[in-house]
Amino acid sequence: MVTVTLQTNHARLQQRLNDLSTIGVLPYGGVRRMAYSPEDLAARQQMITAMEQVDMAITIDAAGNIIGRYSGTQDLPALATGSHIDTVPAGGRYDGALGVLAGIEVVATLHEAGQRLKHPIEVIVFTDEEGEMIGSKAMAGTAHYTDAEFYQRLDGTSIQTCLQRIGGDWKQLATAQRTSQDVAVYLELHVEQGGVLEARECQIGVVQGIVSLQRYLVTISGRPNHAGTTPMDMRQDALYAASLLVAAVHDVAVDIPGDQVATVGYLDVTPNAANIVPGQVDLTIDMRDLSLETIETMVNALQQRVQKIEVTTGTQIQLERQHAVEPTLASPRIQETIAAVCDSLKLSHYSMPSRAIHDAQEMGRFTQMGMIFVPSQAGVSHAEDEYTSPEQCGQGADVLLHTLLQLDLNLL
C-alpha cells in the first residue's frame, strides 16, 4: 500500500501550461513552436527560469537537452522525468509540455515541503522530439553522430547552426550519451493522444511499452490504358489492385488476436486522370505493435495476399521496407508501481501500449523506463483542439510524484 501525503499544486501546473501555450500561439488557438525557432528559444528560457526557482541546477548537454537537477541525499543515479516543448506546425498545448511542466511541479512540491529524495531528480527537456528526436537519441547513444545532413532542416539550416542556437555542440554530440549508472529510471507523463482511456472511462493509462513501427513503400505496376475501349477482363488496373491491398492491410490487422494496428495513409495514382485506367499506384503501409513477432505474422500474411492480388489483377506489387523502429518495453516493476499508486489515489487505471513514438522509447534502450498517460478529449492531438482537463493533468502529476517517491524507496 502506498502512503499518500503530498499532492502537487494543480492550479499552478495549469497556470504554467497556460503560460507556455502563449509562446507560439496561433490566431485560431493552436501552438506553433518548432524546434530551434525563436519561439522554442523563448520557451526553453521559460523552462530554465521555472527550474531555477525550485533550486534545480541547470545544464545543457551537447544535444541541447536542458537538464534540471534537484539533488538527492545520497550519491545515486538520478530518477529522471520530462518530455519536450517543441510542437508540430499547428499543435496543441499539452503534447510534451505536460510531461516537462509536471516534472517541474513535482520538484516544486518537494521543494516547498523541504523534502529531498535519496536519488537526485532530473527533469529533462528533450531537443526536437517532433523532428528527428536528436535529444533523446543522443542521450541513448542511437543518434547519427557522423551524418550532419540527416538532421538538416527543411529550410536548409544545418544542425550545427541549430544546436549552436540552443547551447548545444554538434562536434561534441557523443558526450550527451548516458548510461544506467547516470539515470536509474526514466518516467514520462504524457497525454494519451488517442481515445482509449476516454472510451474506457479510465483516468490513468499504465503504458506497457512503446510499439515497434515498420513502414513499407509499395509500388503497384499495371498498364495505363483507355478507360472506354479497354474491356474489364483485359485491364491491368493498378488502382483496383491497390483497393484490394488496402482491404488486405486492414484484414491482416484484425484477423490476428491482439491490439496491433495497420494503416494505408498515403496513396498516389498515376496518371490520375478520369479517362485513363491507372497504370501505377504508390502507397505506404504502417504497421505497429509491441511484438515484433506479431508484425512479422502480419507481413507474412500480407505477402500471401499480395501474390493472390497480382494473379487476380495482372499487376506487379513491390514492397520495400522504408522505416523500422524497435519496440521498447516498459519496466514491469515501474508498471506495477504506477498501478499501486493509482489504487492508493483511488484513480482508475488501464494497461495499454503507446502506439505513438516518445522520447521514452529511446531512454528505455539504456535504463528502466515507464510512462503514465492521461486522457485526451475525443482522442485529439497534434491539433488546436487538443485538450486534457486541469483535473486530469493534476491527477497525472500526482501519479508521477508518488511513483517517483516509491521508486526512490524501492530501488535501493
CB-CB contact of 186 with 261 (8 Å): no
Distance CA(362)–CA(176), nearest Å, equals: 13
**What is the DSSP secondary structure assignment for residue 91, as one 8-state letter?**
B
Residue 289 annotated as part of some ligand binding site: no
Is 119 annotated in some ligand binding site?
A: no
Q: Is 9 among the annotated ligand-binding positions? A: no
Q: Is 130 annotated as a binding residue?
A: yes
Q: Is 69 annotated as a binding residue?
A: no
Query: Residue 300: in which H helix or E strand, if any?
Result: helix 292-313
| DSSP H or E segment with residue 154 | none
114: left (phi over 0), alpha (psi -120 to 50) or beta: left
Contacting residues for 311 by C-beta, under 8 A, at least 6 apart: none
d(CA 14, CA 49): 17
Cα distance between residue 360 and residue 157, in whole Å: 27
Q: Would you tell me how many other CB atoms lie within 10 Å of the CB of residue 167?
A: 17
215 is in an annotated binding site: yes
Residue partners of 102: CB distance under 8 A and separation at least 6: 8, 13, 81, 189, 393, 396, 397, 400
The backbone region for 33, taken as left when phi is positive above 0, alpha when psi lies in -120 to 50, beta otherwise, is: beta
Q: What is the C-alpha separation between 70 and 279, in angstroms, rounded?
A: 62
> Contact at 8 Å (CB) between 368 and 333?
yes
61: nearest Cα among 73, 51, 69, 49: 69
The C-alpha cell that represents 67 in the structure block: 537538464
Q: Which residues contact 313 (CB under 8 A, 6 or more apart)?
A: 222, 236, 237, 238, 240, 241, 244
How many Cα atoms sit within 13 Å of 313 on the Cβ side?
27
Q: How far apart are CA 3 and CA 341, in angstroms?
A: 9
- The DSSP annotation for 124-146 comes to EEES-TTTT-HHHHHHHT-S-TT
47 contacts: CB under 8 Å, gap ≥ 6 = 66, 68, 85, 100, 104, 125
- Give the number of other Cβ atoms within 10 Å of residue 176's Cβ: 26
Binding site for allantoate, by residue number, is 215, 275, 288
Binding site for Zn(2+), by residue number, is 84, 95, 130, 190, 382
Binding site, by residue number, is 84, 95, 130, 190, 215, 275, 288, 382
